[in-house]
Amino acid sequence: MQDFHKSVVYQIYPKSFQDTTGSGTGDLMGVVKRLDYLKELGVDYLWLTPFFVSPQNDNGYDVADYRAIDPRYGTMEDFETLAREAKARGIGLMLDMVFNHTSTEHEWFRRALAGEERYKNYYIRRPARPDGGAPTNWVSKFGGSAWAYVPEWGEYYLHLFDRTQADLNWENPEVRAELADVLRFWIAKGVSGFRFDVVNLVSKPDVFEDDLEGDGRRFYTDGPRIHQYLHELCAAAGLQDNGMVTVGEMSSTTIENCVGYSNPERKELSMTFSFHHLKVDYPNQDKWALPEEGFSPLPGLREVLNRWQLGMQAGGGWNALFWCNHDQPRVVSRFGDEGEYRVRSAQMLGTLIHLMRGTPYIYQGEEIGMTNAGFTALEQYRDVESLNYYHILKEQGKSEKEIYAILAARSRDNSRTPMQWDDSPNTGFTTGEPWLAVNPNHTAINAQADRAAEDSVFRYYQKLVALRKKYPVIAEGTYIPMLRDHPAVFAYRRELDGVTLDIYCNMTAQPAQVDLEGANGRVLIGNYPAPQRAEKLTLRPYEALAVLY
């Protein structure tokens, strides 16, 4: 068994986790301050989103120096303290490497602007069309053209994200060597792994052409040399030799490619993130539209999650399992219940994802059932994507009411509100003015209260983390879908060496009846006191039950 099969990763968005200076922005020493909390939860790795020097146009995913800590997060000495203190508690650090693009404030881009040919070749440049327009009609992930014109060059550069995030030219071996050197630098600092941001976009096509069917992504997603580049990067940086745990964020990817990225024989990555299950509530694949009232995510989730579980299993690949991250709304608000059944639905959703085949990720606050922000005014938002789409939706003729309803459901700021530690005015996050407003419900939903309660989301997640370490059937068992047509229940089976674990999750606020395979099982975990045991079972609202045979 590979260790990461029985591990659980906790994602930290440092900006919103814990501030120790009163600046209103979280910092590295804030993570140090909360290490005992994380050890109590039982997690094995901490994935920290970028804290490198950055102008923060995309909250740190616009890196201006891969080897330096942004002063707002602390110093290199603070990082070394964090690495040392985490290791003392048996916790490894995973750093978030943004290698598809750099900030336009990065030294490489600045030297390119100054005319140095070597550094101009670090980026993807193309001449204008004869009419002066952009080289292709590709659309940026944040809206608008994916190309920006540079008068000094008389050329455009590609930016799949914000115009201040210039795509790196991975065709250039010097770029690939620089990035491998960055990884070696951090390995020497004591990190245990890496998460690679949108890494399946780095290999661009040989020919740049207009996309007459879409926004351009089909030309650069899982590009022509992506597997070669990943294998080469991992070998050059010694990731396998150093026992690094690695995960790639894969945008609009396929099972076939993710098997290639994560099958150990390929020597690329340990596992992959894919997002298809988090698009089931996008009408016509449009993130910025809301489903009709009464919409149920269950059929879509069941189809996508089962397909990925079975496909990755068949190919020997490995999934990163998750509901939430810094780019996604809170899952309780999205697929659960923010009101009466908040705790039960949070526990149920945790059960559903943690007992699958793969490595589970917990995003900060998920373990206490944090909800969406509930912002009602544009000035409350900080996310560049949300601010851009406010204007795009307005141009599309949407009313203010419609726009705010969409932002309330979809904005990335939903996951970025400060971590709710206690019921004090700034929820224990900062003594200053928080960079993003705290969720008003922190007086009721906070880590202090949740840890004090026996039947809480935190205590339940603690059990889920411990079960993966104790039971090989969870870490290594085969995945088998069950009840594929049930209108309310997501169910599946795990099997290993004569041990069977059946998982039933009622995804609705109404009771739901299921037939158990037998009555001789033992309840391994359930989110209601005194789970019922019978051949016919009525699951209560948002009830989760795992039965071991």
The pTM (predicted TM-score) of the whole model is 0.95
* Enzyme catalytic residues: 197, 249
Q: What is the DSSP letter of 18?
A: -
Question: In the chain, what are the domain boundaries?
Answer: 3-100+173-464, 107-167, 477-548
Other Cβ atoms closer than 10 A to 219? 18
From residue 446, how far is each of 9, 25, 429, 453, 456 by CA, in Å?
A: 21, 19, 11, 11, 11
User: Which pLDDT score is estimated for 516?
Assistant: 80
Q: What is the 3-state secondary structure (H, E, C) of 484-540?
A: CCCCCEEEEEEEECCEEEEEEEECCCCCEEEECCCCCCEEEEECCCCCCCCCEEEEC
User: Which pLDDT score is estimated for 59?
Assistant: 85
In DSSP terms, 494 is beta-bridged to 479, 501
Q: How far apart are CA 318 and CA 480, in angstroms?
A: 16
- Reference 351, options 526, 480, 510; nearest CA is 526
Q: SS3 for 455?
A: coil
- Please report where in the chains the tokens 């009771």 appear, as a residue: 511
**Going by C-beta distance under 8 Å and a sequence separation of 6 or more, which residues neighbour residue 391?**
none
Other Cβ atoms closer than 10 A to 275? 16
Topology of domain 477-548, per CATH?
Answer: Immunoglobulin-like (2.60.40)
Other Cβ atoms closer than 10 A to 128? 14
Helix H or strand E segment including 273: strand 271-273
Helical ranges in 114-162 per DSSP H? 117-120
137: its two tokens: 């009609």
Task: Please give the torsion angle defined by the CA atoms of residues 136, 139, 144 and 150, in that order, rounded to the nearest 10 degrees.
Answer: -40
Q: How far apart are CA 250 and CA 246, in angstroms?
A: 13
Q: How far apart are CA 134 and CA 538, in angstroms?
A: 60
* Residue 380 near residue 32, CB atoms below 8 Å: no
- Reference 386, options 402, 408, 417; nearest CA is 408
Domain spanning 3-100+173-464 has what CATH number? 3.20.20.80
In DSSP terms, 547 is beta-bridged to 502, 523
**Going by C-beta distance under 8 Å and a sequence separation of 6 or more, which residues neighbour residue 374?**
408, 439, 440, 441
User: Which pLDDT score is estimated for 384?
Assistant: 82
The tens-digit pLDDT sequence of the chain (549 residues) is: 578 999 999 999 999 999 999 999 999 999 999 999 999 999 999 999 999 999 999 889 999 999 999 999 999 999 999 999 999 999 999 999 999 999 999 999 999 999 999 999 999 999 999 999 999 999 999 889 999 999 999 999 999 999 999 999 999 999 999 999 999 999 999 999 999 999 999 999 999 999 999 999 999 999 999 999 999 999 999 998 999 999 999 999 999 999 999 999 999 999 999 999 999 999 999 999 999 999 999 999 999 999 999 999 999 999 999 999 999 999 999 999 999 999 999 999 999 999 999 999 999 999 999 999 989 999 999 988 899 899 999 999 999 999 999 999 999 999 999 999 999 999 999 999 999 999 999 999 999 999 999 999 999 999 999 999 999 999 999 999 999 999 999 999 999 999 999 999 999 999 999 988 766 788 999 999 876 666 678 999 999 999 999
Q: What is the DSSP letter of 145?
A: B
Domain spanning 107-167 has what CATH number? 3.90.400.10
